[in-house]
Amino acid sequence: MGLLIAGNWKMNGLGDRLGEVSAVAECARTTSGHNDVLICVPSTLITRAVEAGAGLVVIGGEDCGAGVSGAFTGDISAEMLKDAGASAVIVGHSERRRNHNETDAMVATKAVAARRAGLAVIICIGETQAQRDEGAALSACSAQIAASLPVDLEFSEGSAIAYEPLWAIGTGRVPTAGEIVEVHQSIRQRLTDLMGDRNHGLRILYGGSVTAENAESILELPQVDGVLVGGASLRSHDFNGIIRAADAVTRHSGDPLRRLRHAYETDR
């Protein structure tokens, strides 16, 4: 399993931006191919983005409803995303938790829906600034995992937990390497407690103000299995810089070595 470089376009992008997806596909074509590239786009773009991605960029949705169909005006089911060509979906992004009052329990039902439709799922968690200031970052993330992860689920390949501290999203502020390592280690331990060995199939991504400039220093941390990128995923120039940084990291460290170090640290 290589690194996952995932973009989240949020509520951005009309058809005229699809050239960015093609340019990302071109970049992916020139890299070693060890890592996976995913772009989660607004639902209106999914079908066209799949075409532009040319099989080199996996396309995902940004949220899904819990049900298959029904009287839920404006909602989109995981099956509909799949039908449009998506292979993955983000659930529980902090912007949805905040703006749409989504609870951990709702996030868990969306993760189940994603699995039902055969989509990889990226479940987002992360502490607020206040929680970090109180020294409660680890406990906040741990509680979110316990409540928003359906632990009995056989997750589809490519699924991940994304650690996105709220104070780092769109702010240009990034946790220190030590802070990222501490939280990722604690998430891995929590996943092991909840799921046993099955957690090895789940990547742990970091998200929050990732740029082409800081990506390599984040991705070379062995506890980080990829990144979830907002603003810097909108322009292929920036996102491709992150893809190349990931490629450099896998070339240097070699994926098997990363996994070994990872397993060692998880077992301690």
Give the span between the Cα atoms of 70 and 68, in whole angstroms: 7
173 binds ligand 13P (CB under 6 A): no
Selection from 259, 268, 256 nearest residue 224 by Cα = 259
Shortest distance in whole angstroms from residue 210 CB to ligand 13P: 5
Which of 92, 126, 207, 241: binder of ligand 13P (CB under 6 A)? 207
Selection from 119, 143, 107, 120 nearest residue 226 by Cα = 120
Give the span between the Cα atoms of 239 and 10, in whole angstroms: 15
Site string for ligand 13P, 70-109 (x = CB under 6 A): -----------------------x----------------
**Count of C-beta atoms within a 10 Å radius of residue 81:** 27
61 binds ligand 13P (CB under 6 A): no
199 binds ligand 13P (CB under 6 A): no
169 binds ligand 13P (CB under 6 A): yes
Clarify whether 164 is annotated catalytic: yes
**Count of C-beta atoms within a 10 Å radius of residue 74:** 5
Residue nearest to ligand 13P (CB): 230
Clarify whether 93 is annotated catalytic: yes
59 binds ligand 13P (CB under 6 A): no
Q: Which of 62, 93, 95, 184 is catalytic?
A: 93
DSSP H helical ranges for the chain: 18-30, 46-53, 78-84, 94-99, 104-116, 129-133, 137-148, 177-195, 215-219, 236-253, 255-267
Contact of 161 with 151, CB cutoff 8 Å: no
Site string for ligand 13P, 228-257 (x = CB under 6 A): xxxxx-------------------------
Q: Which of 20, 164, 184, 262 is catalytic?
A: 164
127 binds ligand 13P (CB under 6 A): no
Catalytic residue numbers read 93, 164
Give the residues lining the site for ligand 13P (CB under 6 A): 8, 93, 164, 169-170, 207-210, 228-232
